[in-house]
Structure 1
Amino acid sequence: MEEQQERRNVGERELEGGQPSRNNGQTGLEPEEHRINIVEISHRDWIESLRTAEESTQSQSQWPRIPKVPQMLRGTQDFKKFYEPRLISIGPYHHGKPDLHEGEMIKRLCAKKFLADSNQDIEALYTKIESNIEAVRTCYDNIQPNEYDDEALARMMLLDGCFLLEFVCGKDRKKVLRSHQINFAEPDLFLLENQLPFGVLKLIFEGANLEGPVKKEMKKFVIRTMELEEDEEDEEPSHLLALLRSALVGKSEPKQERQPDKKGKSSSSSGGDGRFCCPRKKGKQRGIRQSFRNIKELKAAGIHLRKSRTSFLRDISFNSYYFRGYLNLPPIIVDDSTKSRFLNIVAYEMCPDAPDAPDDYAVTSYICFLYDLIDHADDVKELRSKHILHNLLGSDDDVAQIFNEIGNDLVDPDAYEDVKDCIQKHYKKRVNTWIAQALHNYFRSPWTVMAFIAALLILFLTGVQTYYALPGN
């Protein structure tokens, strides 16, 4: 009877401030990574571990896995801080850190309001989550029972799930949270290591007396937060970060950006084949050797920027009309959370052992594409002038630095290789550069046009005068 009463009150204790217990009695510490000492295992076990390696990495659970950020990214420059929460921890990877204690209090307030508004029984919710606890455990890397037992993990999922649903789907979160708490918590929800399985959210939401379904409400939140267009993607996401990526990228087969006339040639890209190339920026080897360096050089060769008709990252295309070319790019908003969100989506795409991870590398390729185009603040200024990039950071130098830092060590999967090849073919025709420079020098404003016409008229009149001044005329 005492054990049943203990489990009956588990949810109430958590919302009142109790911390999930670990079997080892420690709190506030990160679980140790599982290590294998190659010296201590036998030769036969070592051979067997190699044979079963592929099977273990490709095994799927009931719900998709939530991987950790690859070490190759975490150890790059100062990127580590962009993968760790500043206020709110979701899931077990960062749970219990001392500097996130304020976030625990915020989560309890939101969870309490969600339970009250949804008119759900907390004991019934806990029972549903605990009955699926093995599926939950396999979603995370190396979360062993000696770190979080079933009860502690179920409590964590219940509290974090109720908080997340209230924050994302709640109509009056400002009644619970202050504006600065919302602003700090929001970026934490899009960290790869700060995700909750979508299956857990469905378990909690399905009995709620709220508008639904949960995917639709979460999608509204992502679109509203990122100021994105709504796509028609119906695939169920693995977690909130996957939903953000899907909203950014758009459908796998987007519409052709602009249909050229009979004299024009165009190229568009809608994904990628996963091929990897050398990440060096200058003169990279691809289908055609790339020689253009930035937007400024493209402009000098008669290649102009235009805003794509949609904001989906896949909507990139190039049109060539004799000596003029048009590179169509989707509009993007750059703010103080852009770097963190792109880095975490790139980390998600780079996880080879996550069966649900996207294999088209669309966001990674997009970052590498902008890395090719942006060298300096002048390139960002050109993007702004065409209403392709909206800079909320205040400095064009800061924007250029963001894309150069993110793309510097990335290997380009070249999802937009066809577009780059068409740009290069247009760029290497010197006659295009000469004509473009002439148009820029003599036709960039009404005054230069008038001066050019006046100069031609003077030359013509001088020639006529010289002709009639010759003997015999």
Structure 2
Amino acid sequence: MEQPTQTENRLKSSEDGGCFPTETTTKPLIQTVTHILLRDNEDFQPYFKPISVALGPLHHDYSPDSKLQRGEKSKLQMAEKFIKYSGREMEVFYTRVKAEINSLRECYDSKEIKTWCDECLAWLFLMDGCAVLFFILHDATDNLDKLGAKDDLLAYVKMDLFLLENQLPYQLLQILMNLCTRVPLCSPEDENKSAAEVLNASITTFIDKNAMNLLGQEQQKPLIKNSKKQQQQQEQQTAATTTTTAAITIDTQREPAHLLELLWRRITKSEKDKESDGAISKLLKKLYPSGENGSDVTMSKCISCNSNSGDKKRHWRPTFRSVKELNEKGIWLKVSNSSNIEGISSIEDISFQEYFFWATLKLPPITGDNFTWPKLMNLIAYEMCPDFKNNFEISSYVSFLDSLIDQREDVKLMRDADVLYNGLGSDKAVALRFNKISKNLVSNFWLQHSYLKHQIQAHCNNKFATSMAQLYHTYFRSPWSMLAFFGALLGLGLTAMQTYEAY
């Protein structure tokens, strides 16, 4: 049995090293991926480890036998070029980072970096931060070819920038950006902007491009070739971007913790949701107004309006159906057309619309390939950090997609609707990936989208609508069945005419 003094010491150490949120917690710490996510998903462990370049102290390895040596050399070269074009001497950058080292330490779990001395950690932050800004600036301006690196290395570097354990404090990037007096690749329209404004705008563009790739929107030409009006809106927003990243942090009081959080914010909220109560609240207020001006509508009100008796309550507890089953009930998938000012959809852009005897379930598109899966997994890992307060938006969305996908036929139907872009080749591989990834996920999807569940279930319980859907699947699904159906009608018509003429 432990002595009281030993127990007291353990309690004191847990106070220092614990990662549960407290009143003094300002932003989530950069930490390792929780073991819960990896418990039954050992196949996903490589998604959380850097492939080409280590950023920050958690995976840094100076040994000559390290597999990351190739990326380490490229990183040092990029950092050197960034400082060269910055208009400042290296000593200026190092002195400022060293002065803020205690604050930067607080961005990490203290147990993870306790072996690092201040000088070594300041030098590491300086090199890694400058390299990241240099890479982002080239990617945002479509000038990655000027880095002189092969395409495979550049692709893996971009992937490594969004690993949870590979993050750098956004505070560090702000320090480095504010010290710059000029930047490379400065275009004529950026001449009247400060270096910090140009670098902040490049980060915004970089996050937008990765959000579009993750949500499968790079394949949609209308989102790439914007109209002149949309381009003007984008230019106005870029011009309004300041060193405090106001365009990105519009939905929160605190600054972002790192780049991964910026990506999380971008794809979990659309611009219209940031400016108002959100699409879901709007819809609920429209459907179930209560109080003055239809305010304060809750999910419980939505549920109570649709279940007045015990029998009806049982009615609203469905096991959700796969895409194939939804199709058989007359519910078709369609890409959601709502997006923010940058033309980027949010995973919250989910809606259900009914038209007489058929309906459409609109979903934001998503990409499934070897480059976007790591981003998705690290976003989920970030949501599972104990000091990050959130509603598990990404985890819930992935769990929802898993409920739609039972087998390869479901993946095919999602591909046909342009809701999912399969980069793995096999539809079965995508189905298995979704089934595995959602094993240990926390899902709040049906709590957040209760109205959606009720609408879909109500349509499935409509016998007339489902009968018409079955009629369509039987006689109108293919051109040949349609020809056979109309041929039969024509034959009956001719027979009726002959019978009429005979009398």
The TM-score by the shorter chain falls in which range? 0.7 to 0.9
Structure 1 position 334, deviation (Å): 2.5
Distance 1:206 1:286, change over 3 A: farther
User: Please, which moves more after superposition, 331-340 or 299-308?
Assistant: 331-340
| Cross-structure match for 2:40 | 76
Distance 1:395 1:154 in 2: 46
Superposed CA RMSD: 3.5
> How far 1:451 moved relative to its partner?
3.0
Pairwise CA distance, 1:52: 8.9
Output the CA distance in 2 between the equivalents of 1:178 and 1:117. 23
CA distance in 2, matches of 1:364, 1:466: 65
SS of corresponding position for 1:42: helix
Pairwise CA distance, 1:74 = 2.7
- How far apart, in 2, do the equivalents of 1:416 and 1:380 lie? 22
SS of 2:60's partner is: coil
Deviation by residue 1:427-472 (Cα, 9 ceiling, x = unmatched): 2334332210101222235553443244345456667888999xxx
Instruction: Pick from 257, 276, 300 the counterpart of residue 328 of structure 2.
Output: 300
Task: Find the aligned partners of 1:103 and 1:188 in 2 and give their Cα distance.
Answer: 11
CA distance in 2, matches of 1:438, 1:62: 58
Q: Cα distance, 1:165 vs. partner?
A: 0.6
Deviations 1:265-298 (A, max 9, x none): 9xxxxxx99xxxxxxxxxxx99932334310010
Structure 1: how far apart are the matches of 2:4 and 2:44?
Answer: 34
Report the residue type matching 1:185 in the other structure. Answer: V
1:202-281 pair list within 5 angstroms:
202-208=174-180, 209-210=182-183, 211-213=195-197, 214-227=199-212, 233-235=248-250, 236-251=255-270, 254=273
Conserved? CA contact 1:94–1:194, under 8 Å: yes
Structure 1, unpaired ranges of 5+: 1-36, 266-271, 274-284
Instruction: Note the C-alpha offset of 1:41.
Output: 4.8
1:436 corresponds to: 469
Which of these residues, 130, 137, 159, is aligned with residue 187 of structure 1?
159
Answer whether contact 2:211 2:266 (CA < 8 A) is retained.
Answer: no
In structure 2, C-alpha distance between the alignment counterparts of 1:144 and 1:296, rounded to whole Å: 47
Residues 212, 378 of structure 1: alpha-carbon distance in 2 compared, 3 angstrom cutoff: farther
Q: Tell me, yes or no, if the aligned pair for 1:233 and 1:250 is still in contact at 8 Å.
A: no
1:18-33 → structure 2 map (5 Å cutoff) = none
Task: Provide the residue aligned with 2:30 in structure 1.
Answer: 66
Cα distance change of structure 1 residues 56 and 72 upon mapping to structure 2, 3 Å threshold: closer
- The one of 76, 80, 84 equivalent to 1:108 is 76
Post-superposition offset of 1:381: 1.4
Query: How does the TM-score come out when normalised to structure 1?
Result: 0.76
Candidates 342, 358, 362, aligned match of 1:328:
362
Corresponding letter in the other structure for 1:237: P
**CA 1:326 to 1:423, structure 2 compared with 1: closer, same or farther past 3 Å?**
same
Q: 1:148 aligns with which of 116, 122, 130?
A: 116
Letter in 1 for 2:363: L
Equivalent residue for 1:376, pick from 401, 404, 407: 407
Decide which structure has greater helix share: 2
> How far 1:251 sits from its partner (Å)?
2.8
- Equivalent of residue 424 in structure 1, options 444, 453, 457: 457
| Mapped partners of 2:482, 2:114: distance in 1 | 78
TM-score (norm 2): 0.72
- The answer to whether the 8 A contact 1:61-1:139 is kept is no
Measured in 2, the distance between the counterparts of 1:361 and 1:205 equals: 32
The correspondence for 1:178, drawn from 131, 150, 157, is: 150
Point out the more displaced range, 437-446 or 202-211: 437-446
Q: For 1:333-412, what aligned pairs fall within 5 Å after superposition?
A: 333-353=367-387, 357-412=388-443
Aligned 1:92-103 pairs, distance under 5 A: 92-96=57-61, 98-103=66-71
Structure 1 residues 50 and 67 mapped into 2: Cα distance closer, same or farther (>3 Å)?
closer
> Sequence identity, in percent?
34
The one-letter amino acid of 1:217's match is S
Distance 1:215 1:63 in 2: 20
Q: Which SS does the other structure have where 2:332 is aligned?
A: strand
Is contact 2:47-2:374 (8 Å) kept?
Answer: yes
Q: Deviations over 1:201-243 (max 9, x none)?
A: 0111112213443332112112234436789644443211111
Tell me the equivalent position of 2:190. Answer: none
Say if 2:333 and 2:361, in contact at 8 Å, map to a contact too.
yes
Corresponding residue to 1:451 among 463, 472, 484: 484
Q: Over alpha carbons, which structure has the higher Rg?
A: 1
* Contact 1:63 1:135 (C-alpha < 8 Å) held by counterparts: no
Structure 2 gaps of 5+ residues are: 184-194, 218-222, 224-233, 238-246, 289-297, 300-312, 340-344
CA distance, structure 2, for counterparts of residue 244 and residue 179 of structure 1:
23
d(CA) in 2 for partners of 1:162, 1:202 = 11
**Kindly tell me: are residues 233 and 87 of structure 1, through their superposed partners in 2, closer, same or farther at Cα, counting changes over 3 Å?**
closer
Match of 1:15 in 2: none
Shift in Å, 1:64: 4.8
Change (3 A) 1:53 1:194: closer
CA contact (8 A) 2:29 2:108 kept: yes
Change (3 A) 1:361 1:146: closer
Q: How far apart, CA to CA, are the structure 1 residues paired with 2:122 and 2:37?
A: 31
Question: Given residue 203 of structure 1, which amino acid in structure 2 is its aligned partner?
Answer: I
Change (3 A) 1:151 1:110: same
One-letter amino acid matched to 2:56: G
Q: Which residue of 2 aligns with 1:25?
A: none
CA contact (8 A) 2:350 2:362 kept: yes
Contact 1:339 1:406 in 2 (8 A): no
Name the count of aligned residue pairs.
410
Change (3 A) 1:136 1:39: farther
Q: Could you tell me whether the CA contact under 8 Å between 1:365 and 1:416 is conserved in 2? A: no
